[in-house]
């Protein structure tokens, strides 16, 4: 394995605040493997990835990066990087296979070992409770559009908190509920692959409810000093022109892409324009008295995942669409500039825009950049090295944007690079590589990329050269 070179490149000119949290992030289904070991049962992603045509090349997460068996090696990589924090997710079907009832201790034991290894390495564990791997049995009962899934999630949150709460100080309830609701239940490109726009709106509400219920369960089970958070992939939507129609397209995307979560969680209300935009689909009668107050249970920070901006104009988009209430009024326009292997535009200004927007709208809420990174067509050269200068340039630009936002008053407390390892990239299978550590999926050999050495240098200096 290639050692990480954390030597400074030059004297840092842009320093981040003392105590700034430097980390990387992963997700259970994308790296763990061991899909049928120690009591784990199928999640919706196990089922979805086995359906013909759903995932590129028929790939599944059965083995992934084999982190379940190589956890010690991966924690050693984290220690070499010098990260202060590591954001991982707990696999619900590994802990509570049916989504109900008592925990499987063998599943919890894996996370106990992971947390102990991180603490021994001087790394703060950051646990995410839901990164899209709903137990299949709960989906069979209706999934997230079914109200009962929300209290089931709170029960699971309490189980994990009681097992790990003495050692894990930072907890995230949900990761990117927009993707889980609208890519999973409206456009169907993610698990469980349903194309039911009303079900997607119901799922979004039940995610908000589940977040509030889980926050209350965590407060009951955790020490008072524990930090509870939520991670959203907010959309940095821009109009193609300044016309009223294009500006309205931005408003619609903001309603169903951003404020559908921000307003309930931080203001205890539904966006009035979202209700109006979706009136032809639903009357929102599934929102019961007290739900919005529960969703607004106070949290300690907000996580932001950002990769690229979105440019929209008046028009219509293909169906099935992940934008209920907007699909007949909005078209998506390719943004100019360089692109990643995902064909996503590279534009760090979008991250700055989101962070300063939240500075203005939620001035009391500390922020964390919980995912940011890029996929490129990385490969090991004949010497075994993996050179990824495009990723270094991407990360540098986005960290500059974070620093600029902090200088302009945004309360950004940390940055988590996505991702530590090349992994199972959802519907793209193993065709896209986001990691700063290359994984040869045939042999599971880890090779540190140039970007890892660069990031280690940033962490070691506490800033950018």
* Catalytic (active-site) positions: 176, 371
Enumerate long-range contacts of 427-432, CB under 8 Å, 24 or more apart. 427/54, 427/55, 427/56, 427/189, 427/190, 428/55, 428/56, 428/342, 429/49, 429/55, 429/56, 429/57, 429/58, 429/59, 430/57, 430/59, 431/56, 431/57, 431/59, 432/341, 432/342, 432/375
| Residue 86 β-bridge partners | 24, 125
State the residue for tokens 């189980």.
Answer: 159
DSSP 306: -
End-to-end CA distance of the chain: 27
Other Cβ atoms closer than 10 A to 412: 23
Determine how many CB atoms are found less than 10 A away from the CB of residue 265.
26
Run of H or E including 272? helix 272-277
Spatial contact of 400 and 14, defined as CB atoms under 8 Å apart: yes
- For 289, the token pair is 């008295």
Contact partners, residue 376, CB within 8 Å, separation at least 6: 340, 341, 388, 390, 391, 433
Among 297, 302, 298, which Cα is nearest to 354's? 302
On whether the CB atoms of residues 78 and 23 are closer than 8 A, the answer is no
From residue 195, give the alpha-carbon distance in Å to each of 39, 52, 164, 189, 337.
31, 17, 37, 9, 32
Tally Cβ neighbours within 10 Å of residue 128.
25
E strand intervals along 260-361: 301-305, 310-314, 330-333
Say how many CA atoms lie within 13 Å of 305 toward its Cβ.
21
3-state helix, strand, coil in the chain (%, to 5): 40, 15, 45
Pair of tokens at residue 12: 């840092």
DSSP helix/strand/coil, 261: helix
Q: Are strands 330-333 and 310-314 parallel, antiparallel or unpaired?
A: antiparallel
Q: How far is CA 449 from the centre of its chain?
A: 22
């Amino acid at each position: 394995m290639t050692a990480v070179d954390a030597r400074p490149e030059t004297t840092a000119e842009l320093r981040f605040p003392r105590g700034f949290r430097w980390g990387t992030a992963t997700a259970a289904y994308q790296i763990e493997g061991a899909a049928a070991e120690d009591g784990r049962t199928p999640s919706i992603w196990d089922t979805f990835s086995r359906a013909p045509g759903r995932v590129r090349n028929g790939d599944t997460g059965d083995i992934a990066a084999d982190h379940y068996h190589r956890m010690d090696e991966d924690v050693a990589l984290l220690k070499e990087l010098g990260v202060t924090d590591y954001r991982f997710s707990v696999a619900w079907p590994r802990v509570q296979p049916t989504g109900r009832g008592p925990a499987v201790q063998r599943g919890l034991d894996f996370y106990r070992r992971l947390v102990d290894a991180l603490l021994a390495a001087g790394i703060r564990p950051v646990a995410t409770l839901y990164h899209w791997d709903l137990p299949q049995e709960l989906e069979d009962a209706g999934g997230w559009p079914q109200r009962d899934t929300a209290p089931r999630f709170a029960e699971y949150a309490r189980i994990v908190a009681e097992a790990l709460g003495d050692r894990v100080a930072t907890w995230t309830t949900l990761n990117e509920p927009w993707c889980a609701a609208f890519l999973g239940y409206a456009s169907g490109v993610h698990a469980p692959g349903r194309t039911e726009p009303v079900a997607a709106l119901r799922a979004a509400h039940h995610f908000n409810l589940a977040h509030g219920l889980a926050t209350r369960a965590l407060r009951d089970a955790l020490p008072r000093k524990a930090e509870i958070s939520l991670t959203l992939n907010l959309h940095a939507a821009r109009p193609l022109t300044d016309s009223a129609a294009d500006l309205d397209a931005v408003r619609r995307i903001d309603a169903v892409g951003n404020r559908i979560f921000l307003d309930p969680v931080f203001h205890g209300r539904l966006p009035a324009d979202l209700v109006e935009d979706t009136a032809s689909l639903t009357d929102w009668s599934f929102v019961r008295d007290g739900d919005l107050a529960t969703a607004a249970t106070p949290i300690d920070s907000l996580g932001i995942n950002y990769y690229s901006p979105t440019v929209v104009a008046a028009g219509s988009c293909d169906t099935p669409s992940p934008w209920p209430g907007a699909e007949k009024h909005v078209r998506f326009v390719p943004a100019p500039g360089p692109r990643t292997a995902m064909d996503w535009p590279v534009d760090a200004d979008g991250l700055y825009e989101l962070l300063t927007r939240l500075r203005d709208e939620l001035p009391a809420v500390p922020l964390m950049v919980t995912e940011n990174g890029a996929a490129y067509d990385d490969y090991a050269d004949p010497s075994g090295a993996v050179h990824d200068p495009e990723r270094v340039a991407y990360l540098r630009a986005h960290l500059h944007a974070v620093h600029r936002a902090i200088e302009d008053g945004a309360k950004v407390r940390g940055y988590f690079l996505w991702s530590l390892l090349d992994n199972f990239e959802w519907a793209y299978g193993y065709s896209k590589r986001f990691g700063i550590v290359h994984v040869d999926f045939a042999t599971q050999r880890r090779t540190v990329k140039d970007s890892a050495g660069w990031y280690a240098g940033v962490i070691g200096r506490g800033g950018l050269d």
